[in-house]
Chains A and B, each alone.
Chain A
């Protein structure tokens, strides 16, 4: 077994190697702000349709409401999720997952690993599945889901999804109490040791202030509405008989992020939230529908 990782970046490389060996294509992050790695088109769209698909990637996730100005040792408004999607899910998926924990250096005879019911759903993309949060010594280190529906459509064959909260996992593996103290690169690097804080603290401070006080709600609202209007227009276009699903889906993601920003500003009431989510879901459903049509036609 290769040596356990010693830094945040080598943790990612270890997972990349592990899942690459297990047959996943290793992708790079999607370049639109998303609230969760699931929203990467490699998961939301690829989960649909009959074609097998195995992929792993890192996705920066933005949760504007979770910003803490860099003062909370655990919460970030921008963090990384490691995402694995296996379609159809292999019968030994739980074992593969546990193998990945061992690969990053967790001794499963010392730690307490538990699969705790958590029926995952993401109403903004009309997706849900059954599975668990995986706990390591009481800390949720991954979300494990068997997708049943995405974009309101049945997922068949079933795709298994793993989401690792990378910072949390790294803090645990490296015994670090504060995310900003995580070793980002190899401490013996010729360029000098960098911590997570060296890389991201300024970003957390500035973005937190922007999320909570900086953005103009009326502008966000306007942009949201513009995106909403654009999606069906984009879906009405095609190139060589292929509907422009992927650009339309990017717009859905943008709308979703704008909604998260408004939410962080406390500009959306509980009852209103449902209607916003419904609007995004409708857009997402349109894309999912078109995507499946394309898959089945191909």
Chain B
């Protein structure tokens, strides 16, 4: 069966886009072929630095002929309908047959040649390809990731003729730019193509390129008694950067090994895409590197190794310069500079932010068992490295460098660790700090970020979260839950929000005042300034504005807590917890994350038991009755009276509720939520019996019976709002 071979040959495709491009090409081709009625026996795509390739096996040379049935108008329908049908179908009336009172046409559709369909498919793929970024070039209008140079398209060894924006299809491609004869060659099928590529020093398959790189690296390491520091992400990237990947080992000046390994690795990986190596069994780095060249050089790679070593030296010399300058400078001058660094135009300087974090860290420290003075000191120093030279060059080393410098200057170990770790966790897979001082500063940092942006109304919406506030909230949640710290979140959020809001308001005030000073001609401007000034004064809590400020604070805290509730739901959902349980617990108005999670877990366990499920059903029945009765008028208030002794079900529930009261309160006070649930389980039998055996709306006993049901709801409501539990 015929084979289709397609190659889209372009200038260098970014490494990071190649994998997805191969997948997209496969998907688009399959869809197009399927739409034309083709199911290739095999279809495979490849992506490399300069080409996307597709090979499909087992295509027919033409579509099968098809019979189509077209249903026309009813017999006797107006002539207009008949004319319309004929025009649309491209038929004449003598081609129609009468069948069951309807005009039918049986049309033989000749299958189209596959080459025609392929030509259309390639054009649709090229024009519709979803590159993350694409461009035009020259005077053309076509878009591709980089200029598209050639299209090789052969079906059954014949060129499929077409032309896209001036690019003619053909059976010619190119191999390596420099190795071999570096001349274009003809390929009429996949065997010729892959043989041609190999002869022209191109490895087509990315998996083979990766193997070649790993093998090459390991051989080099073995010869030098070294061990490769494996790096999957880097391997993927370099495999997309070379058609004929050839690892070359180079030497690094060992005197650079006194730089922090993070600095060396960042420099090697980010800037140069080198693999690091180490001595087998040792933790630090060895003074060598491996670069992956795109050529087997005439001299065996000596020039390449020496050139790359030189580049690395200059990169590391730069890093050394930064280190030396930085340790000459130190924390206090950096801190002074923070005053001139704007954090955000509406929130003031980095210095103001640091002041807020210091205050917060001081508040949080006792809650997480940290020394208050150490926490405040670590918070004060935490952002200093932002103005250091090293972090200016390698922003990803923020915090890490602060830690190194703190230790270099002999600062307290806990303080240094907190400076280093306070950005953590930076993502779901990043570790959460555990040392108390670090926890305090990490929480203060994130809570300030979060509340400050809320205070200037920069909240995440939909998929937009430019300040990564959701990540900050998740980090807070993970830190609190891991440390088990009992943090009254609402209060802490209140403090954090209030101080950020005051900073923001002061800035607004200044802007407003400067407006007044300017020559204002339009009345509108005057009005705006007056409003801005008064709202700024109000917000800062000055004078009469105090009450206004308190209202704003309360609603901000409410909003922030609900933001946290949503984040917590996501966290718990990831752990397999039902989000309705989170709602049921949050409805109690608690803001202690540790307690909330303990409650959710106990509730989750309880609802998996028979007692739990039945009690929930009972609760819902009771609650429905109460709701229905509530519609008729206010429910009776007060304690239920002891029922008559002859009503066993009533007496049973009354007693059960009375017996429950004390132990339930005790369990809750001890935060023994499993125990509390066990107490509630005692209600299951009596509630069931009550609901099955007692007629609540008996006019004589209605009030007392409603009070009893309300008592059930109240008792259970101390544990969670069961009304919000699904099921």
Chain A residues proximal to chain B, CB less than 8 Å: 68, 71-75, 88-91, 94, 98, 107-117, 119, 129-132, 136-139, 146, 148, 156-158, 160, 172, 177, 266-267, 269-272, 275
Contacts and interface: CB of A to CB of B under 8 A. Distances in A.
A139 B311 contact: yes
B15 A117 contact: yes
Contact of A75 (B145, B318, B344): B318
Contact of B310 (A110, A119, A139): A139
A198 to B, nearest CB: 22
Interface stretch (B98-106, B119-127, B136-144): B136-144
Contacts of A156: 136
B297 A110 contact: yes
Interface stretch (B54-62, B80-88, B205-213, B334-342): B334-342
A117 B16 contact: yes
A112 B149 contact: no
Interface string B267-295: 00000111000000000000000010111
9 contacts: A88-B139, A109-B295, A115-B49, A130-B145, A136-B307, A138-B272, A148-B135, A158-B135, A269-B343
Contact of A132 (B12, B314, B337, B341): B12
Indicate the size class of the contact surface on chain B.
35 or more
Contact of A270 (B317, B321, B342): B342
Contact of B307 (A131, A138, A146): A138
Interface stretch (B254-262, B298-306, B556-564): B298-306
A75 B293 CA distance: 25
Given A137-B304, A158-B137, A266-B337, A114 B314 contact: no
Contact of B297 (A109, A129, A160, A275): A109
Nearest to B50: A115
Given A89-B138, A112-B307, 9 more contacts: A72-B314, A111-B307, A117-B14, A130-B146, A138-B312, A158-B138, A266-B387, A269-B343, A269-B350
Contacts of B133: 119, 130
B297 A271 contact: no
A98 B136 CA distance: 22
B625 interface: no
Nearest to A65: B392
B310 A114 contact: no
Contact of A271 (B137, B145, B337, B342): B342
Contact of A275 (B273, B294, B345, B349): B345
A90 B138 CA distance: 6
Contacts of B314: 72-74
Given A114-B294, A130-B146, A146-B147, A137 B11 contact: no
B594 to A, nearest CB: 35
Contacts of A98: 177
Contacts of B711: none
A109 B12 contact: no
Nearest to A137: B307
Among all A-B residue pairs, the 3 with the closest Cβ atoms: A137-B307, A117-B14, A269-B342
A131 B147 CA distance: 10
Nearest to A52: B139
Interface centre among A73, A137, A157 (most CB of B within 10 A): A137
Contact of A110 (B11, B242, B298): B298
B710 interface: no
B340 A266 contact: yes
Nearest to B341: A269
Nearest to B349: A269
A269 B146 CA distance: 35
Contact of B321 (A72, A91, A136, A148): A72
A91 B344 CA distance: 46
Contact of B179 (A90, A94, A109, A148): A109
A191 B248 CA distance: 43
B250 to A, nearest CB: 9
Contacts of A130: 133-135, 145-146
Of A117, A132, A156, A267, most buried by chain B (CB within 10 Å of CB) is A117
A149 to B, nearest CB: 11
A272 B350 CA distance: 11
Contacts of B337: 266
Contacts of B135: 129-130, 146, 148, 158
Contacts of A269: 340-343, 349-350
Nearest to A160: B137
B409 interface: no
Interface in B15-43: 15-16
Given A137-B311, A158-B138, A115 B295 contact: no
Contacts of A129: 135
Given A114-B242, A114-B294, A269-B340, A138 B311 contact: yes
A275 B342 CA distance: 11
Contact of B295 (A71, A91, A112, A177): A112
Contacts of B307: 111-112, 136-139, 172
Contacts of A271: 342-345
B679 interface: no
B241 interface: yes
B529 interface: no
B304 A111 contact: yes
A139 B177 CA distance: 19
B178 interface: yes
Among B179, B273, B342, which residue has the most Cβ atoms of chain A within 10 A?
A: B342
B288 to A, nearest CB: 14
Given A72-B321, A138-B312, A91 B304 contact: no
A11 to B, nearest CB: 17
A173 B497 CA distance: 59
Contacts of B177: 98, 108, 113
B308 interface: yes
Contact of A112 (B16, B293, B341): B293
Contacts of B308: 137-139
A157 B272 CA distance: 34
A160 B15 CA distance: 21
Contacts of A172: 307
B407 to A, nearest CB: 24
B399 to A, nearest CB: 16
Interface in B598-622: none
Contacts of A68: 321
B137 A110 contact: no
Contacts of B298: 107, 109-110
